[in-house]
Structures are given as C-alpha cells and as structure tokens.
Amino acid sequence: MFYLKKKYFKSFFSKVDDLTNQLANYFLAEGYTHGDVIALMMDNSIEYPCVWIALSKIGCITALINSNLRAIPLLHSIRTVNAKGIITSKSFLPGKYKNKNIYFIFLSFY
C-alpha cells in the first residue's frame, strides 16, 4: 500500500498549481483565448498534464494527439481538430534540435 503524507501531498500540488499558472499566463500572453483548440503531442512526463491543465485554466480546448503518429496520419489528426497551435516535446523534432536545452516546443498557426 502506498501512503503519501499530507505535507508532501500539499507541497506537490502547490508546485503543480504554480507551474500551471505560469504556463497559463504564458499562453495568454501568446494570444490564446477561451475556445481556441491547441494540439498537445508530448512524451509521458510531469510537464504533460501541467500543460494540459494550464490550457484548461484559460479555457482552451486541448486536442491530445497520439505520440506514435507520423506523416499523413499525424497531419490528418492536426487538420481534423483545426488546431490554432501545437505543443510538442523536443524528442519529436528533427535530430539537430534534440541536443538543445529545450523542454517543449510551441508552434503557432496564425
């Protein structure tokens, strides 16, 4: 049985809340508003739900894209949801970008 003490639980959620608030403010500053559709394609990581929650806090609709998709199926998924932008991890970028100190990539279609 797994037991997490209340003080650790509270500390964890306050850190997640702080991170999601920072991300939400960033996305607001980038011009995203209530009702915008954003495609999210990331690795399994702690940032994944934080980005998702941050987008929800500002009223964006998050389209979760399967990270196994490539080429035409990936393009179809993005076009189908009519995403205003894509948020992805550096692991999905071409090789020359993988060694950069980047946590996630934000692509916008205006």
Q: What is the pLDDT of residues 90-104, one digit of tens each?
A: 777 666 555 555 555
Tell me how far CA of residue 29 lies from CA of 1, 23, 45, 56, 59, in angstroms.
43, 10, 24, 15, 14
Between these two residues, 89 and 50, which has the higher pLDDT value?
50
Q: Which of 29, 84, 88 is nearest to 60 (CA)?
A: 84
Contact predicate 80/58, CB 8 Å: no
Contact predicate 33/55, CB 8 Å: no
Q: What is the pLDDT of residue 86?
A: 87
CATH number for region 6-108: 3.40.50.980
Q: What is the pLDDT of residue 104?
A: 54
Sheet arrangement for strand 37-41 = 61-64, 37-41, 85-89, 104-108
Q: pLDDT at residue 14 above 50?
A: yes
pTM recorded for the entire structure:
0.79
Between these two residues, 68 and 24, which has the higher pLDDT value?
24
Q: What is the pLDDT of residue 1?
A: 47
